[in-house]
């Protein structure tokens, strides 16, 4: 049986260079970075070297990078402290954000009675900028939380435009950039975002590690307390091997960004062309078939399959060795329709199966051909 992995938006395989770097640290650097002896100092050097390299790729200072367990923790850190410590009483977001944001915002609304405004979306899932401008006129202390790239439909938001609007209106701006760090150049000196969240396993790094970018002098306080690690913003002994693995992953991602972007973008376009040709009634969700308005790494399709056959589709794909997803991996096992698609699809299209296929440097056109043939045979 073939084994084809088209679920790279959920997680990516680690690069060999990352695995080698992690193994090297596990063998040779077990010291606690907070210890003052030579073993601890050696580990501390590795952590700070990684911090500097990651900061360099985002054009920020090393002190603005705080290591976390991943994107979810980074989102929670920023949103919780913004309300509890910075006095934010109004959050502007959208209903197609990752649940790490949506569930945290709902919790804060219930606990602190803050105002939450959800931006209107068109049928492609794009936000209404005029509404955003209007909401930013609020007298309340406001934070905007909008993801740079949607993890289910791939829509890219104009992060610079949002950041500039927030700055003009003295609002804070947080962006979940989990799907864009390592895949797009982000110059955070040019984009005045206050906070971003990132996760290593989305760009061929290890799971269990990520970071928050926190603009200098933000006033944020820690979510996890107990020690002075990460300049007092995240207690707990740093996972040195994972941090070094993330450093290598981000370095390799940006060193090879141009060639890998061209390859993966070509693969996505090939998929779009082939599925249109072989399955004429296919529809594309969000802006995922537009390579200018969506990420080059994923496509989300609504397939012309009767509702009664929908439950068998993912099972059949899995039987054929094809890994893909109905939505976010964080919702796996849930029988509910994707919260993202529920906001933008109507009627019959919402009942039909929608599948997210996401690509990486490790995929090929032959795998796309195999996938299209399996889908075509299933539809009949």
Q: Which residues are catalytic?
A: 330
Helix (H, G, I), strand (E, B) or coil at 66: strand
Residue corresponding to tokens 């640290």 = 25
User: What would the DSSP string read from start to end of 199-261?
Assistant: EGGGGT--TT-EEEEE-TT-----SS-SS-TGGGTS-S---HHHHHHHHHHHHHHHHTHHHHH
- CA torsion 73-124-349-202 (nearest 10°) is -30
| List of residues 6+ apart from 352 with CB closer than 8 A | 302, 303, 304, 305, 307, 310
How many CB atoms are located within 10 Å of the residue 330 CB?
Answer: 14
| Helices of type H across the chain | 16-28, 38-58, 71-84, 99-112, 129-135, 159-168, 240-255, 257-278, 307-319, 339-344, 347-351, 365-379
């Amino acid at each position: 049986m073939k084994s084809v992995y088209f679920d790279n938006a959920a997680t990516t395989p680690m690069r060999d260079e990352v695995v080698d770097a992690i193994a090297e640290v596990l063998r040779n650097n077990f010291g606690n970075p907070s210890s003052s002896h030579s073993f601890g100092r050696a580990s501390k050097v590795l952590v700070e070297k990684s911090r500097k390299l990651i900061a360099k790729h985002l054009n920020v200072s090393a002190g603005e990078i705080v290591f976390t367990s991943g994107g979810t923790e980074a989102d929670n850190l920023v949103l919780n402290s913004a309300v509890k410590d910075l006095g934010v009483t109004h959050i502007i977001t959208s209903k197609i954000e990752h649940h790490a944001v949506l569930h945290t915002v709902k919790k804060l609304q219930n606990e602190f009675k803050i105002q939450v405004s959800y931006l209107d979306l068109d049928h492609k899932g794009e936000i209404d900028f005029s509404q955003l401008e209007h909401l930013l006129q609020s007298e309340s202390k406001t934070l905007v939380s909008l993801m740079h790239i949607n993890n289910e439909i791939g829509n890219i938001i104009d992060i610079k435009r949002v950041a500039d609007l927030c700055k003009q209106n003295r609002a804070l701006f947080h962006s979940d950039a989990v799907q864009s760090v390592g895949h797009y150049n982000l110059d955070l000196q040019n984009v005045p975002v206050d906070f971003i969240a990132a996760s290593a396993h989305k760009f061929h790094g290890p799971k269990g590690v990520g970071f928050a970018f926190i603009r200098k002098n933000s006033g944020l306080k820690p979510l996890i307390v107990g020690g002075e690690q990460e300049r007092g913003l995240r207690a707990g002994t740093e996972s040195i091997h994972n941090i070094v693995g993330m450093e290598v992953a981000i370095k390799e991602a940006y060193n090879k960004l141009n060639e890998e972007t061209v390859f993966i973008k070509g693969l996505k376009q090939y998929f779009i062309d082939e599925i249109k040709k072989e399955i004429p009634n296919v529809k594309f969700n969000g802006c995922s078939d537009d390579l200018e308005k969506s990420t080059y790494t994923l496509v989300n399709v609504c397939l012309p399959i009767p509702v009664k056959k929908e439950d068998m589709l993912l099972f059949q794909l899995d039987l054929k060795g094809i890994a893909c997803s109905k939505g976010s991996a964080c919702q796996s096992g849930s029988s509910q329709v994707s919260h993202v698609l529920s906001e933008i699809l109507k009627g019959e299209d919402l009942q039909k199966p929608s599948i997210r296929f996401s690509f990486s440097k490790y995929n090929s056109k032959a795998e796309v051909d195999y996938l299209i043939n399996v889908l075509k045979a299933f539809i009949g």
